[in-house]
Structure 1
Amino acid sequence: MGALAVSRESGLVDGGLWFRVEESSAVSAVRRAAQEVGAEVGLDENRLGGLAIVATELASNLVKHADEGRLLVRPVRSADVAGVELVAIDAGPGMSDLTRFARDGHSTAGTLGIGLGAIARQAGWLDMSSVEGRGTVTVAQVWPGPTPTGPAAAAISRPMSGEEACGDGYAMRTVDGSRQVLVCDGLGHGPLAAAATTAVVQAFRAAPAGPPAAVIEHVHRSVRHTRGAAVAVAQLDEGQVRYAGLGNIAGFLVDGTSRRGLVSLPGIAGHQRRAVREFSYPAAPDAVLAMHSDGVVDRWRLEDYPGLRDRSAQVIAATLLRDAGVRRDDACVLVARAGR
């Protein structure tokens, strides 16, 4: 990616933009992008001012304190309400005591040290995870009014280095009271892969109510005009997860320190497939479902990150993307709570 201090690492991704944030010149670019997204979703002047503070402080913290800082600006929606989400990710040095670092007046760079406190006051919702030596993930949201209840599932994706379009995607929906989530990986990279993923997401959202295997069958029939995609769908019911997949989407259920892999069958939605099979797995109320494309290696363990399991789905997904995602491929991670 060259020696630029800031770059828009992608075009539209999850409705947002990735930035590389390593020098002070990046801060204003991130702030402008956040305000543009805020204006598009209808934030008033007061909320836009608060959003500008959040964006400035998050980007400034990456410049002052972090290694390999990245920041995603994207819209978020809950029912008919839209807000702005900022996801700041870095690879070090990390913090041992987030409560102490969040107090006004604390600084490790000789500055006034009000960044995290200002973010917490202006954001409608804030969650963080940090491990010394590994880095910090911060997710902040600004809404036009009261903050909606946090989602039980969240996802994050990014394109491979050098690409504008991302061929990996995700979607979520509620069917007859059950939550269904999808992760897909359009064949190859670039615009054609992104087009395949867009078609998969549209087909998933339009699919008739039914279990994951039936949804996969509908998607398969609906995307034959594309180059095809690897696809997996999970349904989270009380006490169990139902799962069906075609191709190389990885799925795992994490319960305590155990991690169970979920079965996907060989195939390409839209082109080649065997009979789609669905598998059911018992899931404790506090189990975590993680699904990701093959741009994320599967050697991660949540227990390597103290306290991460108790953080929001957004923070868990962003942490796994940072540490297990590979730059030579598109990458997508979705995390859901089984019991919510």
Structure 2
Amino acid sequence: MPVSAAERATERAIERAAERAADQPPGGLVDAVVIGGGAAGLNGALMLARSRRSVVVIDGGAPRNAPADGVRGLLGLDGIAPAELLRRGRAEVRRYGGLVVAGEVTSAGPAGPAGGDPRFTVTLADGRSLYARRLLVATGLRDVLPDVPGLAAHWGHGVVHCPYCHGWEVRDEPIGVLATGPASVHHAVLFRQLTDDLVFFTRGTELDDDTRARFAARGIRVVDAPVEEVVTGRDGGIEGVRLADGTVLRRRVLAVATVLRARTEGLDGLGLATEDLPGGMGRRFASGDAGATGVPGVWVAGNVTDPMAQVGASAAAGALAGARMNADLAAADTAAALATVPRDGARA
């Protein structure tokens, strides 16, 4: 008898629960704790585990791309379901001895250096704690949608944000761009590549004459009337956008440049610097080369510091950060070993 979609979903949920319960935090010092179990965090952990480092990933289980049907633009894995990509990633980390622990971080901060080598304590919501020499923060970000009634229900399906993540899948559909600020102008130009039927809802965003002329040249219709709500059709998808005068302008897809906010909950104790994104589009953790921060022993990777990065770029950033963390640990190990060698003339 064929297995229904609901039965498959139940089986996967049971498998996921068993998997998340499998690893428990170790009691002693570990080389690295990775906060965040997405592409950046898992790839960073993979690099560390393959370097024979003891590493623990703290996975909150709420990836940014969970609503998406597939991961796009990832070479060799284009279209893979987000949950399946992460399942494979967790299995790969565990293959090399890494741990993936389910939990939410409530606090993280320095625990004092040991002979100059940093130490950190990470505490989880259930009271468990981990003690680590290095930290990789890969908590990702949160997309903040504009407050338009009916919009959020279609997030990740009829409501999209990235032409490179979702563009091919919505090609040739009637698309509307709901402006959230100046960044939406560039958004519209990119989505125009995907459809001949594009409407730009200004929602109070001022457009100068040059922008309106460029939009007109590309056949982008501009609607200045206020947007009241997103209308859902009988098929459950987007039917259109209701304007203040009651008119419903038919659209099947809406593109929105979301406000991007790094997930920083529980991380204040680390004292990591943050900075604003251009155009009021959100905030991120500041970082330097390979995700190094101003706090010795702490790196950041993925959307938490590079909000525009797709899955492939986030994974690559995590891998680079993991490699640099291993190099830093190797230097610290060498310095500690050297300190135990008696200097000339110091022997009894």
Alignment TM class, shorter chain as reference: under 0.3
Which one scores higher on RCO, CA 8 angstroms, separation ≥ 6?
2
Higher strand share: 1
TM-score, L = length of structure 2: 0.25
TM-score, length basis structure 1: 0.26
